[in-house]
Copies of this chain bind each other. A is one copy, B any other.
C-alpha cells in the first residue's frame, strides 16, 4: 500500500525538472544543484490537534505543509526547487491522500517545485516536509544582520491566521452577514501565501529577515537575539486586514497581530534611508511591506501604544512546549 500512496502523490505532484536525476521511487532522490548556487533547506512538521484543528480539509493540509516550509525558504531569500514528504496517517485513506496531494500540488505547481521523495507510515496524523531551494553564494538572508537605526518592516497583514483559528473554533452561527469576512480569515489560516518573490527581492537589501510563524513578538525577537539588538514597534503602524478590524475589538485584534502565529509574512530590517525605494519595489511585486518600527540598542522587543505608553508584552507569542 505504501507504494500506491506515494504513487498517488507522485501523479499529482509530478514536475518535469532537468535537475531531478532520480525522483520518487528509489531509496533516495538524486538532484543537481545548479553551478554557482548554494542550497537552502528547511524542515517543518504539522501535527493534528497541535498545528491544525481536527477536521481540517486534506487539501488545506497539503497546501499548508508545503507553505510553512516555502515560507522558511522565502525568509532566506531562496527560490524553491524540491521537496520531500514524510506523511504519517492512521490508515491507508486514498481519499485523504488524493486531497492532500492536490492541495500540495496547487501550491507547488506555480513555483515549479517537484516532490522528489517521501515516506508514508502508519500512526497519528503528522506531516513533515523538507523543502530545498537555491540562493546565490553569500546572499542568503539570515536573522543576524540587523543594525541600530534600521527600520523594521513586515509584509501583508498580521493577525489574520490567529483570528481565522478563533473563527474556526466558534460554534456555527446564524447568518449574520459576516461569513465572508470570517471566510477570508480562515483562508488566511488554511492557505498561507509564502512570500517567495519578496524574499528574493530582499537579497542584498534586507539586513535581517525571519518569517512570522510563531507571532511577531517571538519572531522579531529571534532577529534581535541573533543580531544583538532590540526593536521598538509602533502598535498603530501594524498592518491589519479590514476583516480582522471589523470582526474583533481593538484589544483582541492587537493581540492577534502581535502574538498570533501562522501568518507566514516576512519581517525584515533595512537601513532607514532605503525604506521608501524598497517599499515601492516590493509593491510592484504584488505584496507591499509596511514599516512597523525601528532597531535600537538593547535587547528584546518593545511595543508602543497609540497613546505613547509602552505595552506589557510579556507573552512572547505562541511557543512550542510553552
Interface residues of A (CB under 8 A from B): 1-2, 5, 21-22, 25-33, 35, 38-51, 71-73, 75-76, 78, 82, 84-86, 88, 91-92, 116-124, 126, 128, 130-133, 135, 137-138, 140, 142-144, 209-211, 226, 319-322
Q: Are B33 and A319 in contact (CB-based, < 8 A)?
A: no
B123 close to A124 (CB less than 8 A): yes
Q: Which of B5, B30, B144, B211 contacts A140 (CB 8 A)?
A: B30
Q: A2-B319, A41-B116 are in contact. List 14 more A-B contacts (CB 8 A).
A: A2-B320, A5-B321, A25-B143, A27-B73, A27-B210, A29-B40, A33-B33, A33-B39, A39-B39, A44-B86, A45-B86, A92-B321, A120-B320, A122-B321
Question: What is the total number of copies of this protein in its complex?
Answer: 2
- Asked if A41 and B76 make an inter-chain contact with CB atoms under 8 angstroms apart, the answer reads no
Which of B28, B51, B86 is within 8 Å of A76, CB to CB?
A: B28
Among A33, A35, A46, chain B packs the most CB atoms within 10 A around the CB of: A33
Given A50-B123, A320-B1, A322-B1: A78 and B211 interface contact (C-beta under 8 Å):
no
- Rounded to whole angstroms, the CA-CA distance of A47 and B5 in the bound complex is 18
Chain B residue nearest to A1 (CB atoms) is B321
Contact of A51 among B27, B78, B121 (CB under 8 A): B121
Give chain B nearest CB distance to A181 CB in angstroms: 31
Task: Show 13 residue pairs from A and B whose CB-CB distance is below 8 angstroms, ordered by the A residue.
Answer: A1-B320, A22-B140, A26-B226, A27-B42, A31-B41, A41-B130, A42-B84, A43-B86, A43-B130, A44-B119, A47-B123, A47-B126, A124-B126
Q: Cα distance A320–B88 when bound, in Å?
A: 11
Chain B residues, CB < 8 A from A322: 1
**Distance, CA A204 to CA B61, complexed state (A):** 42
Whether A38 pairs with B26 at a CB distance below 8 angstroms is no
Alpha-carbon separation in the docked complex, A76 to B144 (Å):
37
| Complex CA–CA separation, A75 to B86 (angstroms) | 19
For A74, give the chain B residue with the smallest CB separation. Answer: B27
Chain B residues near A123: list those with CB within 8 A: 47-50, 124, 126
Which residue in chain B gives the minimum CB-CB distance to A72? B27
- The distance in angstroms between the C-alpha atoms of A225 and B71, with both chains bound, is 38
- Report yes or no: B38 in contact with A86, Cβ–Cβ below 8 A: no
A217→B123 CA distance, assembly (Å): 24
